[in-house]
Amino acid sequence: MSKNVLLIFFLYTFSIVLYGQPHWTVASEREVNYPQKTFFTGYAQGNLRQNETVEDAKNRLMREAQGLLSESIRINVRSQTASRTVSTTVNNRDRFDAVFESDVQTASDIEIVGIRSEPPYYDKATGIVYAFAHVSRQELSNYYKSNLAMNLTQVEGLLQTAKNLEEAGQKVKARQQCDATLPLLSRIRSVQDLLTAINPGISSEDLQQAKTETIHNQIVKMRALLAQAVLVYVESKEFLFDEQVNIVANQLKAELAKSGCSFVDDAKKADFKLNIKVSTRHANTNNNFVFCIADTQVELYDIRKQKIVYSDLISQRSGDTSQERAARRAMTDVVKKVSESLKPWVEN
């Protein structure tokens, strides 16, 4: 480098110090003090707009600098996510199911924390406002490693609760716990993509990839198990006066099937055993219109808990033009009452 060039550089640097202009307003200074290897940065400069105060211009350009910094990180994240997606497709591996199809959008929109902004600088001589924001890759990495661990711990807790509820036969509550893991799993995947974008050389151990995959697979299996219908074994004795029928049992099965129940012929394969006893009796006659009552004894036995969880006597009075028709109508009408009583226990 010639002496003249060195002299010019020295005078320029000296003038910056002399007049108080921040060193980060110079590109070469930013590159030295905030190298891309260790920092993400955002820099903006511009003149005052018409009727704009200096303070407003400073705020505007600071937001622009912060936005440029955030966007530079998001570009890296989108690139990393796209690369991972292509790799997964090429290798015919589908590590995460359809619920994570929005990963790219979620990851690129993730909040960027720890951004530091230098006080904006206004050069009165030129009328130019300068703004600069930066964030350390290491600080970002440390924060999101902690965030990753926290989310994994939450998912593990929800999964364990789901397992406990499933073992207790509470499939509906167990499914709710499993569903609550899905947004957390999506967040975990996004944070892993962000960490990889921040530090391309990060290890799979730091990303906790093996643990994430194990938890994910457990949740997939649990959701598949809980997706199966509640299995019910039904025993019934129904009498339309002296005639043995299956009016209530058949119609009740159809109603409960709407709530996700399936019915088995082997009690050993069932989650619940339902015992129904129905008898009919004449109530009264009014102007050739006959009223009958269907008395229905219902008992629901939880096979896993090995105890009766619901028991009741439900009666239904209905009328028709003959005693037999009235009794049949009462047996049909009682089904809705019985179904509503059983749904909280067997609804899938």
Chain-wide mean pLDDT for the chain? 84
Of 94, 114, 135, the last residue of a domain is: 135
The bridge status of strand 261-263 relative to strand 230-240 is parallel
Among 135, 163, 192, the domain-final residue is 135
CA–CA gap between residue 129 and residue 44 (Å, rounded): 8
Q: Which residue has the higher pLDDT, 79 or 38?
A: 38
pLDDT at residue 17 in the model: 47
Q: Is the pLDDT of residue 164 over 70?
A: yes
Q: Residue 179 is encoded by which pair of tokens?
A: 């569903």
pLDDT for the residue 316? 97
**Higher per-residue pLDDT: 244 or 190:** 244
Long-range contacts formed by 7-15: CB under 8 A, 24+ apart: none
Pair (25, 118) in one structural domain: yes
pLDDT in tens, 282-325: 999 998 899 999 999 999 999 878 899 999 999 999 999 999 99
The type of residue at 83 is S
Of 192, 211, 227, which one is at a domain's C-terminal end?
227
Instruction: Tell me which residue range forms the domain holding 319.
Output: 230-346
Q: Does the pLDDT at position 327 exceed 90?
A: yes
Residues 219 and 241 in one domain: no
**How many domains, in total, are found in the chain?**
3
Residues 109 and 153 placed together within one structural domain of the fold: no
Q: What is the pLDDT of residue 109?
A: 59
At residue 104 the predicted structure's pLDDT band, cuts being 50, 70 and 90, is: very low
Residue keyed to tokens 């980060």: 24
Helices (H), the chain: 3-19, 27-33, 54-90, 103-108, 137-167, 171-198, 204-207, 209-227, 247-257, 323-346
CATH code: domain of residue 108: 3.10.28.20
Considering the domain architecture, whether residues 7 and 130 belong to the same structural domain is answered as: yes
Query: What is the predicted pLDDT for the residue at 91?
Result: 39
CA 136 – CA 39 distance, rounded (Å): 5
Q: What is the pLDDT of residues 105-133, one digit of tens each?
A: 444 456 788 889 999 999 999 999 999 99
130 with 85, same domain: the answer is: yes
Q: What is the DSSP letter of 105?
A: H
**Percentage of residues of the chain with pLDDT beyond 70:** 85
Where residue 315 sits, what CATH number does that domain have?
3.30.160.150
Cα→Cα distances 181→173, 176, 178, 204, Å: 13, 9, 5, 22
Q: Amino acid identity of 249? A: A
Q: Are residues 131 and 22 in the same domain?
A: yes
Higher pLDDT, 76 or 130: 130
Retrieve residue 344's tokens: 């909280």
By the 8 A CB rule, do 257 and 231 touch?
Answer: no
Same domain, yes or no, for 235 and 327?
yes
pLDDT confidence tier of residue 12, bands split at 50, 70 and 90? very low
Query: What pLDDT does residue 257 have?
Result: 87
Indicate whether 130 and 29 sit together in one domain: yes
- CA 13 from chain center: how many Å? 54
Question: Closest by alpha carbon to 175, among 233, 95, 240, 229?
Answer: 229
Spatial contact of 273 and 267, defined as CB atoms under 8 Å apart: yes
* Closest to 266 (Cα-Cα) out of 236, 232, 290, 293: 232
Is 254 in contact with 338 (CB distance < 8 Å)? no
One domain for residues 101 and 9:
yes
pLDDT band per the 50, 70, 90 thresholds, residue 7: very low
Pairing, β 272-286 against β 261-263? unpaired
- Given a cut of 50, whether residue 101 has pLDDT beyond it is no
Distant-in-sequence contacts of 8-16, Cβ < 8 A, 24+ apart:
none
Q: Select the more confidently predicted residue: 343 or 78.
A: 343
The distance between the two most distant Cα atoms of the chain, rounded to a whole number of Å, is: 124
115 and 191 co-located in one domain: no
Confidence (pLDDT) at 8: 40
**One domain for residues 239 and 186:** no
Residues 16 and 124 reside in one and the same domain: yes
The pLDDT of 23-27, averaged and rounded, is 93
